[in-house]
C-alpha cells in the first residue's frame, strides 16, 4: 500500500471506507489553532496484464480517472510499447513467464489485477519457452482452451494473494446496451439471420471455440476459432461478400475477468470491406471501444448494430426496443 495525507477542516467522523482504500482520521491542528483532521488514505495499487490492442489503454485511462495506481505487466510479443506512457510502472515479460509476472505484482504490492487485451491463442504454439511455474501449470491443465489457460493463470495468482477481477472494472461505461444502437433498424432478413445465428454462436461460445459467426440468408458462412473477429469477417467476405450479418456473443456464463467480447471501429471497417450490413452483440457483456466513433462510422455506412441475447424477432420486431439506445 502507498499512503497520502488529505487534510479536511473540522473532520469529526470515524474511519471511512473509500473506493480504493481506507481513510483514517488522526488528530491535528490548523495553523490558527482550530481543530482539523488528517485523513491517512491507503491507496490500493491495481495490476494489469496487458495484451494487444486498445483495451489496456482504456483500462489505464479509466484507472487514471478513478485516481487508482496501476502496475502493468506487458507481454513482449503482444503489447504496444506506448503502454509505458500511461502506466505508473511497467514490467516486460515474455509469453510464458508466469513466475516473473507474479513476482513483479507482489513486489509492487498488488492485491487485485485485471487482464485486458488479446493474447493470441496461437501463441501457445509459438515456440516460446515457459518458465517452471508455467510448465507446472500447463502440465496440470486437463485441456488448453482459453478458459482453461487463463483460469490456470488466475489460480496461480490467487495462491499468491492476488485476485483477478472483472476486466471492465474501470470501464463499465464502454459496455454495449440493449436495443438498436444505430439510426437504422435491422430489416426482416437481418432479424432472421440474427435469430438463426444466435443459436449457433451461443453453442460455439458454450464449447469455448469462439465468439463470432457470420451469416447470410440464414446460412452459416464462417465460424470463429483462434483467428479473431476481424479475421473471420474477412474470410466470410471472401466466401460470400454482401448481405452478411455478424453475430458476436458472450459465453453463456461469461467470466468478466477475461476473454470479454470486444468490438470497435476496426470491426466496422472490416464489415464494410466484407459487405456486412448488421452486427449483433450481447448487451452488458460486450465492450464497444470508441463507441461514438464506431456508431458514427456504422451510420455512415448504413450498418445496424443491435444489442440482444434473445430472439430478436420477438425482442426487437414485436416489442420495438427503443432505437438509438446510446449510452
Mean pLDDT in residue range 100-128: 80
Inform me whether the pLDDT recorded for 106 exceeds 70: yes
Q: 10-19, 147-156, 295-304 — which one is most confidently predicted on average?
A: 295-304
CB neighbours of 198 closer than 8 A, spacing ≥ 6? 247, 249, 280, 309, 310, 311, 312
**Model confidence pLDDT, tens digit, residues 196-235:** 999 999 999 998 889 999 999 999 999 998 888 999 999 9
pLDDT value, residue 314? 55
Lowest mean pLDDT among 24-38, 140-154, 282-296: 24-38
Measured in degrees and rounded to the nearest 5, phi and psi for residue 284 equal: 65, 0
C-alpha distance from residue 240 to each of 245, 249, 277 (Å): 11, 22, 13
Mean pLDDT of the chain: 82
CB neighbours of 289 closer than 8 A, spacing ≥ 6? 54, 55, 58, 174, 262, 263, 264, 265
Residue 318's Cβ-side half-sphere holds a number of Cα atoms within 13 Å equal to: 6
Q: What's the maximum distance between 2 C-alpha atoms anywhere in the chain?
A: 79
Alpha helices in 165-243 (DSSP H): 188-206, 229-240
**Model confidence pLDDT, tens digit, residues 157-196:** 999 999 999 999 999 999 999 999 999 999 999 999 999 9
pLDDT value, residue 117? 87
Amino acid at each position: 500500500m502507498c499512503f497520502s495525507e488529505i487534510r479536511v477542516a473540522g473532520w469529526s467522523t470515524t474511519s471511512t471506507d473509500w473506493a480504493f482504500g481506507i481513510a483514517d482520521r488522526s488528530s491535528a491542528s490548523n495553523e490558527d489553532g482550530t481543530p482539523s483532521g488528517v485523513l491517512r488514505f491507503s491507496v490500493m495499487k491495481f495490476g494489469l496484464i496487458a495484451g494487444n490492442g486498445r483495451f489496456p489503454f482504456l483500462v489505464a485511462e479509466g484507472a487514471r480517472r478513478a485516481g487508482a495506481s496501476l502496475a502493468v505487466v506487458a507481454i513482449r510479443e503482444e503489447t504496444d510499447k506506448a503502454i509505458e506512457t500511461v502506466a505508473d510502472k511497467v514490467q516486460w515479460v515474455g509469453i510464458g513467464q508466469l513466475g516473473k509476472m507474479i513476482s513483479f505484482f507482489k513486489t509492487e504490492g498488488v492485491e487485485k489485477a485485471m487482464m485486458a487485451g488479446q493474447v493470441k491463442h496461437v501463441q501457445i504454439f509459438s515456440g516460446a519457452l515457459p518458465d517452471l511455474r508455467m510448465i507446472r501449470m500447463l502440465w496440470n491443465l486437463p485441456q488448453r482452451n482459453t478458459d482453461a489457460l487463463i483460469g490456470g493463470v488466475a489460480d496461480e495468482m490467487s495462491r499468491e494473494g492476488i485476485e483477478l477481477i472483472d476486466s471492465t472494472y474501470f470501464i463499465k461505461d464502454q459496455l454495449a446496451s440493449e436495443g438498436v444502437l444505430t439510426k437504422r433498424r435491422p430489416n426482416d432478413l437481418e432479424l432472421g439471420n440474427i435469430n438463426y445465428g444466435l443459436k449457433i454462436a451461443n453453442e460455439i461460445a458454450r464449447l469455448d471455440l469462439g465468439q463470432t459467426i457470420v451469416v447470410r440468408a440464414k446460412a452459416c458462412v464462417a465460424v470463429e476459432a483462434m483467428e479473431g473477429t476481424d479475421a473471420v469477417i474477412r474470410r466470410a467476405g471472401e466466401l460470400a461478400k454482401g448481405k452478411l450479418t455478424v453475430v458476436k456473443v458472450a459465453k453463456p456464463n461469461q467470466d468478466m475477468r477475461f476473454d470479454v467480447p470486444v468490438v470497435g471501429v476496426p470491426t466496422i471497417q472490416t464489415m464494410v470491406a466484407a459487405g456486412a450490413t448488421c452486427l449483433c452483440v450481447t448487451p452488458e457483456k460486450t465492450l464497444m471501444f470508441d463507441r461514438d466513433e464506431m456508431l458514427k462510422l456504422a451510420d455512415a455506412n448504413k450498418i445496424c448494430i443491435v444489442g440482444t441475447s434473445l430472439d430478436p424477432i420477438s425482442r426487437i420486431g414485436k416489442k420495438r426496443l427503443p432505437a438509438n439506445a446510446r449510452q
